[in-house]
Chains A and B, each alone.
Chain A
């Protein structure tokens, strides 16, 4: 340690220097706690913007949930695009020096738009869920929907513990949007898509109602807001993906940086894109060939289906390169019978099947 080199002078100086080093090195003494894992980890996660790092240090539990959200988003994205050429891989050109949470596509394509949106949706979703489950210190049930007000006049009232979607959306906005420090068109696109993702979560929130009471007469229902399954959000964003709009940045007269994004249309009407739509700047590459520069892994080795009518048809998936057929015998257990007592015997069925992978 540094201390060993300073040891020769008198003890008083040693102690003073030790104290000095100690206090400057561990800056988080402003709070009662000096050290914790959060300090060590947050300072070492690559690719975080300064504001993101501050949020990580002050809310480590929310950070953990945000990471879970990003992972959920990645899994959902992989599911939604499992039959497409691009199956939700992100390769950016920072050579592994960015964490997957903050990674960004090289080309501002539709796929980049989907990635931003689903990531922002995933973070909001998991944070809201973690709030209801009590694993985040700074949030809980939605307080605005907690108390039963005195004056009743409607058919329903709020009750119980509603999911605190506001906290989830706010955290997602503060955390993910603070990554966009540059003020260029890519940042505008990312901010728009983040917002689209958050809107998707908000729009899919359910309100469940139930008549609580002994008689079947349901005069006033008690309602809660609940989170849907994440699959519905993934589906919703996939639809937005197919109808994503291309945009161009518009300079405003005073500043050098672009201020708005406008739809690129052949007609000359300049219109802003809808807040719930996904936007992109450049057309997507074909993702057929492997090209690290544009972030494509190519389709070599992907499974395809010879007879399917969709994107994973072997002609489309393999981009005309052809496919390898792999024949193998598939065995599985069939005709299982339960014998009293208590074991199960099964037969083994075999089948000759073929598997096709792109060249």
Chain B
């Protein structure tokens, strides 16, 4: 609002004009007639015109809301006079005076005046943009509200919105308030929707917000067979679940199994303490601890297990007439034997990894932080082993009134508008001081437009399809595809595998988004123009020559890769004020090889050489130029890791690397010597796209929408870089020995790996990291609110896992 005032008032010549002009913009209503005359007489034509245009196009919303309030009055004369007052007068004082003449003095008990009072709050709120996490702005639970869009039945969808969003009260014509009791709605939702077989997507989404899957359990006393399984995922590992399982088993031992939300009747069983007690214990524990399986949408027990246990333990004497074990198992297990199910057999015996489970550490598994803080694993280099804290507790903002999901400080989150029926409209807020969301702005509503591809084929929003060998997805009317060049067997040209079938010549160019491409042909194929590329690797570029900073500042190179290829302001440097003690610099830890410094500026002050922009890490080499798997050169392996890139081979990058679908691989990377990979004996190594040497990891390839990235850059006021994405995702890795690495492939997708970051990884650690990568992949594929709440991660539209 003020900026409009600046635009109009600044070009004015005289100070009188500026004063009058600003006065008009400060007040929150239309200029009075005398003000308009003053503007005309005192100001220049252009200023007057500007003011006039602005006020014409932006009538105060108080006018519109006022008209709605007039309808609250019972008396028709009063209504008419109220509307007339709004038309005739512009200042609220005059309006209120005129309404009081005909409708009586203001009285807080009348709905008419209550409505006007409430609309003033809207005015205050709009100016401050502070929603502060209150129910009407974020809903009771902003994270779960995003799940409501996945509901299949309209009844459950409405109940979901009522429970997690705002409840609007309705006033019927008698003026009495009908209240939606949040309690009864929540109970109805729990009873009708939570275990409903049709609402699997909704329930899985809600479960992932409230009870996310994490690796391994420990310290369970009753369900001890679930301990020490660091390569399996469970939803609830807390002592409360353990106790619940124990009590459930005790209740079942009284002769009947009741599952009121799934079966309408009790299952009579013989004494479970004598009939397969271990199996019943495993069932009770499975229902509470909830093992996660990537493909399983609900905690189904396998039908074969169900039939065998009921066959032995069912008390046929008390069974209702006509009911068989097969009928019961049909409700409890998936209908189709091809659907994956939770097999009970492995939970009947203790874990095989008992002796080696300490290789995988999960510092946050015991929930050491308080409810309003986020536990983050800290992978810093530890100078005194055994004395460093393995986790830190950072404050975070709740996405609503309920603390079900927290987001870290300074992150941008998007929340569905709590009152919107369609749930397609969002607002974006920043997590700021005092753990409150503020600085909210409204986003355009998403429309699920279909995409029209060539030959008049129409794809619906959200669908994934192949165009040749390229994977494509339709998102809001825009088709995004990978940029592979597909081999045509009939073609006579040599297939190189690079996009646009570019030559395999390695003449690297650096694009202005910080990415090195093997040659100019590839860069132009991906949409860059000649002006946006420079020859040579990005490692060899000197962003600080000529000095782009102001005269008193020093320029420090700071490489980053921005996801938006066309973005103009992906600056590769930062400017530092050296003279005033680096106080103005943002705190971002850097390492000189052995010690941490709070910022690059402080490092320069101490005349140290910057090794990499991250906490000092162990597990990597901190000297010796290397080539990363993304085709970029780094000054050391640790510098590559700091950028989220794994080591490909030693020395500067010299080859274009393997790519998908390239069937003539023997002449790429021919001059490259791959480091000895000791891991090849315990895993099946593969070569990531764009690299020369194999690694041991699970791979996730994510397709993202360029327009969504551009919008996200606008909302967060800075271009979206890979580092931003990596920072959010790697907080989800809860295993100390694993870390997440991500890079931008030249085929237009984002490639994510989760690998062990210890010097010599054991098979258990490899498997654990692979499971973590599976966890992240399934969160991305199912668009879980834990990820899509972040504005930058909501740009992912399709993902694929290769494990």
Known A37-B119, A41-B116, A140-B133; contact A46-B91, beta-carbon cutoff 8 A? no
Q: Does B262 interact with chain A (Cβ within 8 Å)?
A: yes
Which residues B96-128 have CB closer than 8 A to chain A? 96-97, 100, 105-110, 113-121, 123-125, 127-128
Q: Does A338 interact with chain B (Cβ within 8 Å)?
A: no
Q: Does B34 interact with chain A (Cβ within 8 Å)?
A: yes
Decide: A216 and B259 in contact? CB cutoff 8 A. Answer: yes
Bound-complex Cα distance A18 to B239 (A): 70
Decide: B23 and A161 in contact? CB cutoff 8 A. Answer: no
Bound-complex Cα distance A4 to B367 (A): 70
B258 partner, pick from A46, A67, A131, A216, beta carbons under 8 A: A216
Decide: B34 and A70 in contact? CB cutoff 8 A. Answer: no
Residues of A within 8 A of B239 (CB): 152
Q: Does B445 interact with chain A (Cβ within 8 Å)?
A: no
Q: Does A129 interact with chain B (Cβ within 8 Å)?
A: yes
Residues of B within 8 A of A35 (CB): 27-29, 91-93
Bound-complex Cα distance A224 to B166 (A): 17
B105 partner, pick from A3, A37, A46, beta carbons under 8 A: A46
Decide: B96 and A44 in contact? CB cutoff 8 A. Answer: yes
Bound-complex Cα distance A64 to B105 (A): 15
- Type the 1/0 row for B772-796, where 1 means its CB is closer than 8 Å to any CB of A: 0000000000000000000000000
Residues of A within 8 A of B132 (CB): 137
Residues of B within 8 A of A336 (CB): none
CB distance from B268 to the nearest CB of A (A): 14
Bound-complex Cα distance A40 to B119 (A): 13
Report the tally of A-B residue pairs with Cβ distances under 8 A. 229
Decide: B401 and A70 in contact? CB cutoff 8 A. Answer: no
Which residues A123-174 have CB closer than 8 A to chain B? 129, 131-141, 143, 146-150, 152, 160-161
Of B91, B107, B168, the most chain A CB neighbours within 10 A belong to B107
CB distance from B63 to the nearest CB of A (A): 11
Q: Does B296 interact with chain A (Cβ within 8 Å)?
A: no
User: Across the two chains, which residue of chain B brings its CB closest to A96?
Assistant: B105
Bound-complex Cα distance A41 to B104 (A): 12
CB distance from A31 to the nearest CB of B (A): 7
Of A37, A100, A213, the most chain B CB neighbours within 10 A belong to A37
Decide: A40 and B183 in contact? CB cutoff 8 A. Answer: no
Known A36-B120, A67-B109, A134-B136; contact A161-B190, beta-carbon cutoff 8 A? no
A161 partner, pick from B243, B259, B401, beta carbons under 8 A: B401
Decide: A45 and B106 in contact? CB cutoff 8 A. Answer: yes
Decide: A133 and B169 in contact? CB cutoff 8 A. Answer: yes
Bound-complex Cα distance A26 to B28 (A): 12
Residues of B within 8 A of A64 (CB): 108, 113-115, 117-118
Of A31, A33, A224, the most chain B CB neighbours within 10 A belong to A33
Decide: B402 and A161 in contact? CB cutoff 8 A. Answer: yes
Q: Does A186 interact with chain B (Cβ within 8 Å)?
A: no
Bound-complex Cα distance A36 to B60 (A): 11
The stretch of B174-182, B446-454, B557-565, B605-613 in contact with A is B174-182
User: Across the two chains, which residue of chain A brings its CB closest to B418?
Assistant: A134
Decide: B168 and A214 in contact? CB cutoff 8 A. Answer: no
Bound-complex Cα distance A353 to B121 (A): 53
Interface residues on A, range: 35 or more
Decide: A38 and B117 in contact? CB cutoff 8 A. Answer: yes
The stretch of B45-53, B244-252, B461-469, B700-708 in contact with A is B244-252
Residues of A within 8 A of B32 (CB): 1
User: Across the two chains, which residue of chain A brings its CB closest to B239?
Assistant: A152
Decide: A36 and B124 in contact? CB cutoff 8 A. Answer: yes
Decide: A44 and B401 in contact? CB cutoff 8 A. Answer: no
CB distance from B190 to the nearest CB of A (A): 6
Decide: B167 and A132 in contact? CB cutoff 8 A. Answer: yes
A40 partner, pick from B96, B121, B401, beta carbons under 8 A: B96
CB distance from A1 to the nearest CB of B (A): 6
User: By the criterion of a CB under 8 Å from any partner CB, how many residues of chain B are at the interface?
Assistant: 87
Decide: B121 and A213 in contact? CB cutoff 8 A. Answer: no
Q: Does B42 interact with chain A (Cβ within 8 Å)?
A: yes
B20 partner, pick from A15, A31, A150, A210, beta carbons under 8 A: A15
Decide: A67 and B120 in contact? CB cutoff 8 A. Answer: no
Decide: A33 and B93 in contact? CB cutoff 8 A. Answer: no
CB distance from A116 to the nearest CB of B (A): 16
Bound-complex Cα distance A38 to B367 (A): 47
Residues of A within 8 A of B262 (CB): 214
A41 partner, pick from B19, B96, B367, beta carbons under 8 A: B96
Known A38-B120, A132-B167, A134-B134; contact A141-B248, beta-carbon cutoff 8 A? no
Bound-complex Cα distance A32 to B28 (A): 10
Decide: A33 and B403 in contact? CB cutoff 8 A. Answer: no
Residues of B within 8 A of A31 (CB): 124
Bound-complex Cα distance A313 to B27 (A): 61
- Type the 1/0 row for B177-195, where 1 means its CB is closer than 8 Å to any CB of A: 1011111001100100001
User: Across the two chains, which residue of chain B brings its CB closest to A67?
Assistant: B108
CB distance from B572 to the nearest CB of A (A): 39
Known A67-B109, A135-B118; contact A219-B403, beta-carbon cutoff 8 A? no
Q: Does A315 interact with chain B (Cβ within 8 Å)?
A: no
Decide: A63 and B117 in contact? CB cutoff 8 A. Answer: yes
- Type the 1/0 row for A1-34, where 1 means its CB is closer than 8 Å to any CB of B: 1011000000110010011001000100101111
User: Across the two chains, which residue of chain A brings its CB closest to B249?
Assistant: A217
Bound-complex Cα distance A161 to B118 (A): 23
CB distance from A125 to the nearest CB of B (A): 11
Bound-complex Cα distance A10 to B62 (A): 35
User: Across the two chains, which residue of chain B brings its CB closest to A213?
Assistant: B244
User: Across the two chains, which residue of chain B brings its CB closest to A135?
Assistant: B136
Known A133-B168, A146-B401, A217-B247; contact A39-B92, beta-carbon cutoff 8 A? yes
Known A33-B124, A35-B29, A147-B403; contact A101-B134, beta-carbon cutoff 8 A? no
Decide: B109 and A99 in contact? CB cutoff 8 A. Answer: yes
Bound-complex Cα distance A63 to B120 (A): 11
Bound-complex Cα distance A64 to B260 (A): 44
Q: Does A78 interact with chain B (Cβ within 8 Å)?
A: no
Bound-complex Cα distance A99 to B179 (A): 27
Residues of A within 8 A of B134 (CB): 134, 136-140
B107 partner, pick from A99, A131, A214, beta carbons under 8 A: A99
Residues of B within 8 A of A39 (CB): 92-93, 120
Q: Does B339 interact with chain A (Cβ within 8 Å)?
A: no
Q: Does B275 interact with chain A (Cβ within 8 Å)?
A: no
CB distance from A102 to the nearest CB of B (A): 9
Residues of B within 8 A of A134 (CB): 134-136, 166-167, 418
User: Across the two chains, which residue of chain A brings its CB closest to B14?
Assistant: A11
Residues of B within 8 A of A349 (CB): none
Q: Does B149 interact with chain A (Cβ within 8 Å)?
A: no
User: Across the two chains, which residue of chain A brings its CB closest to B166?
Assistant: A134
- Type the 1/0 row for A77-114, where 1 means its CB is closer than 8 Å to any CB of B: 00000000000000000000001110000000000000
CB distance from A214 to the nearest CB of B (A): 6
Bound-complex Cα distance A44 to B38 (A): 30
Q: A19-B19, A37-B119, A44-B96 are in contact. List 6 more A-B contacts (CB 8 A).
A: A18-B23, A44-B106, A134-B135, A147-B371, A215-B258, A219-B248
**B contact residues vs A (CB 8 Å cutoff):** 16, 19-20, 23, 26-29, 32, 34, 38, 42, 62, 66, 91-93, 95-97, 100, 105-110, 113-121, 123-125, 127-128, 132-136, 140, 166-169, 175-177, 179-183, 186-187, 190, 195, 238-240, 243-244, 247-248, 251-252, 258-262, 284, 287-288, 367, 371-372, 401-403, 418
**A contact residues vs B (CB 8 Å cutoff):** 1, 3-4, 11-12, 15, 18-19, 22, 26, 29, 31-41, 44-46, 56, 60-61, 63-68, 70-72, 74-75, 99-101, 129, 131-141, 143, 146-150, 152, 160-161, 208, 210, 212-217, 219-220, 224, 226
The 9 residue pairs across chains A and B that have the minimum distance between CB atoms: A67-B108, A134-B135, A38-B120, A147-B371, A36-B120, A134-B136, A64-B114, A216-B258, A141-B401
Q: List 25 A-B contacts (CB under 8 A).
A: A18-B20, A29-B26, A35-B27, A36-B92, A37-B62, A37-B116, A37-B119, A37-B120, A38-B120, A39-B93, A40-B93, A40-B95, A41-B113, A44-B106, A56-B108, A64-B114, A65-B114, A67-B109, A68-B109, A137-B124, A152-B239, A213-B244, A215-B251, A215-B258, A216-B260
